[in-house]
Amino acid sequence: MTTKAIVTTVGVVGLALVPVIAHAMNAPFYLTLVGRIMIWAIAALGLNLILGYGGMVSFGHAAYVGIGVYTVGILSAHGIDSAFVQWPLTLVAAALVAAAVGAISLRTSGVYFIMITLAFAQMLYFLGVSLKAYGGDDGMALARRSQLGQVLDLENSTVLYYVILVVLLVLHRAVARLVGSRFGAVLQGVASNERRMRALGFPTFRYKLVAFVLSGVMCSVAGILLVNFTRYMSPAFMHWTRSGDLLVMVIFGGMGTPLGPALGAFAFLLLEEILKGYTEYWPVVLGPVLIVAVLWGKHGLHGLLAPAGAPRG
């Protein structure tokens, strides 16, 4: 068994045992912390699809997390709390917004692409700030967690925790299958040399747009889980700094690697939580740590698990 397989197995077992350990220690904080980290790992997984495999540096993907948060939150505020209504509507809303943003931003590249994705994200952020009926800049408590009828009781935080874990594992597997498919091969080829892929007859714009939409939808799934887990919706979830955090998680963990997003999310948020306990100037310490880790590990934290010369996937 490879080091990567061992780490994956131990990690999944460890995550599954967190509620048991938290209950035994009478420390619900650990359940909350790890649950929140897994949610952001899902968002990082979505960003990695276009950043790590497609070579598209989006600086506004937290906006799709915000779409998930606000769609569920607004529907709940109006008495619509069925997950069978909320969740599909959220995915459709995220897909439509991502398709519109992608159709415009993907006609550019480099720094222009970065700035356009940032501009759209900030537009959505200020839209959230302007919604005074839903708390405006201060945000608003979720009226009620999504209801799954007799299937699962999401009002139980432990049940919700395991739902988050299952969603993370399913999406991780889905992305791995997608990247290993013909679509994934073309997407990586576009990232390597788009002109050559066009010369071979591939509609590169279409491939990039589909990847961009799928990435946005995955981030909206993180938003659905986030608003249910925290019982709170706020425009802060889609501020540009959150998009920056997602970029750091992916780069720190290892771009274009299967475990990179999860490793980056756990390392980044755990370091943040630990450093906050020692100093209010924790970003001054965290910054150099991230720089050293990225420079030291060729492919981030994931690169430290793979033997020299081994493929990243």
Query: How much is the pTM?
Result: 0.93
**Cα(77)–Cα(74) distance, integer angstroms:** 5
Considering the four listed CATH numbers 1.10.10, 1.10.8, 2.60.40, 1.10.3470, the one that applies to the domain covering 33-305 is 1.10.3470
Query: Are the CB atoms for 250 and 50 separated by under 8 Å?
Result: no
Give 309's pLDDT tier (boundaries 50, 70, 90).
very low
Reply yes or no on whether the pLDDT at 310 is more than 60.
Answer: no
- How many residues would you count in the chain? 313
The overall average pLDDT reported for the chain is 90
* H helix intervals, 200-239: 204-230
Q: Helix (H, G, I), strand (E, B), or coil: what is residue 255?
A: coil
pLDDT (average), residues 33-56 = 95
Check residue 307 and give its pLDDT: 52
Domain boundaries, the chain: 33-305
Q: Helix (H, G, I), strand (E, B), or coil: what is residue 55?
A: coil
pLDDT (average), residues 168-187 = 94
Give 284's pLDDT tier (boundaries 50, 70, 90).
confident
- 208: Cβ contacts below 8 Å, ≥ 6 apart: 50, 54, 56, 102, 106, 187, 190
140 secondary structure, DSSP code: E
- 308: Cβ contacts below 8 Å, ≥ 6 apart: none
**Cα(174)–Cα(36) distance, integer angstroms:** 21
- Residue 147: strand pairing partners: 82
Check residue 272 and give its pLDDT: 87
**Cα(250)–Cα(175) distance, integer angstroms:** 14
pLDDT (average), residues 203-227 = 96
Among 220, 214, 204, 125, smallest CA distance to 175 is for 214
More reliable by pLDDT, 303 or 280: 280
Reading the block at residue 181, the tokens are 């498919």
Reading the block at residue 93, the tokens are 């809303």
Check residue 15 and give its pLDDT: 92
Of 70-84, 115-129, 146-160, minimum mean pLDDT range: 146-160
Check residue 303 and give its pLDDT: 72
pLDDT (average), residues 213-219 = 97
Reading the block at residue 216, the tokens are 């946005």
Q: Helix (H, G, I), strand (E, B), or coil: what is residue 301?
A: helix
Check residue 131 and give its pLDDT: 92
Each residue of 123-156: pLDDT tens digit?
Answer: 999 999 999 999 999 999 999 999 998 888 999 9
pLDDT (average), residues 94-115 = 94
Give 305's pLDDT tier (boundaries 50, 70, 90).
low
Of 7-11, 111-115, 218-222, minimum mean pLDDT range: 7-11
**Cα(62)–Cα(104) distance, integer angstroms:** 18
Check residue 196 and give its pLDDT: 92
Check residue 298 and give its pLDDT: 60
C-beta atoms surrounding 29 within 10 Å = 10
Reply yes or no on whether the pLDDT at 266 is more than 60.
Answer: yes
Each residue of 193-204: pLDDT tens digit?
Answer: 999 999 999 999
C-beta atoms surrounding 57 within 10 Å = 18
pLDDT above 70 covers a percentage of the chain that reads 94
Check residue 308 and give its pLDDT: 46
Burial class (CB in 10 A: 0-12, 13-18, 19+), 14: exposed
Reading the block at residue 29, the tokens are 């904080």
Reply yes or no on whether the pLDDT at 311 is more than 60.
Answer: no
